[in-house]
Amino acid sequence: MGVYIPNETKPSDCYECFCYETEFNMCSLSGKRIDNVRIRLDDCPLIEIPTPHGRLIDENDVKAKCVNEVFDKMGTVAITETYFGDEWADDICDIPTIIEAED
C-alpha cells in the first residue's frame, strides 16, 4: 500500500525531501543510506502522478469486471473488442476510485 499526498511535488534531491532522515543520513521510505544528498536516488520510491489527471481506478478491478460480464453473458472468458458496449461504461463508473480526479 502507498500514500498519496495531494499537491506535493517530487523533490529534486534527497536533501529537500520530507523522507530524508538527517540524523541517520538515510531515506525513511527505502531505508537506504544516502551518500550524496544533492542528487535524487535512481531508485527513489516516490512516484509522480501527472497532473491534471482523471479519476484513477485499479486496472485489475476493471479487467475482473469485464471478464465476469463476458462470462455471464456469453458463457466464456474470451473477451473480444467487438463486445464492448455502453453498459461497460456504467460498469467502469462503479469501480471504486483510488484517487479523485483533478480539475
* Residue 42 and residue 6 share a domain: yes
Residue 17 has pLDDT above 90, yes or no: yes
Cα separations in angstroms, 15 against 8, 9, 36: 16, 14, 9
Of the pLDDT bands very low, low, confident and very high (cuts 50, 70, 90), residue 76 is: low
Q: What percent of the chain has pLDDT over 90?
A: 33
* Residue 41 and residue 15 share a domain: yes
Tracing cell 536533501 back to the chain, one arrives at 15
* Residue 61 and residue 43 share a domain: no
pTM: 0.61
Domain with 44, as residue range(s), is 1-48
Domain count, the chain: 2
Tracing cell 529534486 back to the chain, one arrives at 12
31-54 residue pLDDT tens? 999 999 999 988 999 988 888 888
Last residue of a domain, one of 32, 48, 64: 48
* Residue 43 and residue 15 share a domain: yes
* Residue 42 and residue 2 share a domain: yes
* Residue 34 and residue 12 share a domain: yes
* Residue 2 and residue 33 share a domain: yes
| pLDDT of amino acid 2 | 78
Cα separations in angstroms, 59 against 45, 62, 75: 21, 5, 23
* Residue 68 and residue 36 share a domain: no
* Residue 66 and residue 31 share a domain: no
